[in-house]
Amino acid sequence: MESIRYLALGDSYTIGTGLEDEAQNFPSLLARRLKDETGIDVTLVNLGVNGYTTTDVIREELPVARNARPELVSILIGANDIVQGSDEAGYRDRLQQIYRAIKELGVPWARVLAISIPDFSALPGAAPFGSPSDLRARVDAFNDIAEKEAASRPFLFLDITSISREANRGDGWLAADGLHPGPAQHQAFGDHIWHKIAPTWRTVVLRRFSPAARGAVEIAVEEAKAQRAQHVGSEHLLMGLLKLEGVVHRRVL
């Protein structure tokens, strides 16, 4: 069966600058969770580059994205626009270009994830970029722009800024550079994001099934929801088969 195609756009937060292994970044964690829960391989195309701004994404990442044929997309960009002194209007204009280009990829809007900029203002490595109070205010302002622009598409917008503002949880929370998230923080990002997107991103597998199979799975999902189950199990799939009209296996069962 063809693998699921997941495209991740962004900067150092997306690629995982400061991690010993890129497999620890949050897009890789999401891809692994999706594979574990669906049983289908996930091909992750992670275009994130340390230091990239919205201008870089437009120039370097979007041309590649157009040829990637993604079924799932995430975008996290803006920290370096803040660091380089971009004004809010310029950031909004460039983000609108990026969001328009993502929408043109033809990915269903519910499978496009816009992610907030983590707050780096109080970290030791952020000292050269401005005072903590000014940086924090700009992070909030840029995230407000990103959230409003995402809602107008409408893409799902998820806040991980609040996680980045939590007290240092100890080993692995920060990278050695004192500026980027460590593996524990990426894990926290991934867990939070997965909890929000799992029901929608799991349904990407339905495109690989026949109409009858899709119908059975859709009924199974509704059965699982009705029973407040955490996962779609074999008992829900059986109910999906039994309730599906006009197919041979229903008569056999």
φ, ψ of residue 60 in degrees (nearest 5): -105, -40
pLDDT in tens, the chain (253 residues): 689 999 999 999 999 999 999 999 999 999 999 999 888 999 999 999 999 999 999 999 999 999 999 999 999 999 999 999 999 999 999 999 999 999 999 999 999 999 999 999 999 999 999 999 999 999 999 999 999 999 999 999 999 999 999 987 889 999 999 999 999 999 999 999 999 999 889 888 766 556 666 566 667 767 777 887 766 677 876 776 677 666 555 555 5
pLDDT of 39 reads: 85
Q: What angle do CA 212, 213, 214 make, to 5 degrees?
A: 90
φ, ψ of residue 10 in degrees (nearest 5): 155, -150
φ, ψ of residue 85 in degrees (nearest 5): 85, 20
Please give the model's pTM, rounded to 2 decimal places. 0.83
The residues facing 45 across adjacent strands are 7
d(CA 134, CA 3): 44
- 163-187 tens-digit pLDDT: 999 987 889 999 999 999 999 999 9
pLDDT of 120 reads: 97
Measured between alpha carbons, how far apart are the two ends of the chain, in Å? 27
- 56-73 tens-digit pLDDT: 999 999 999 999 999 999
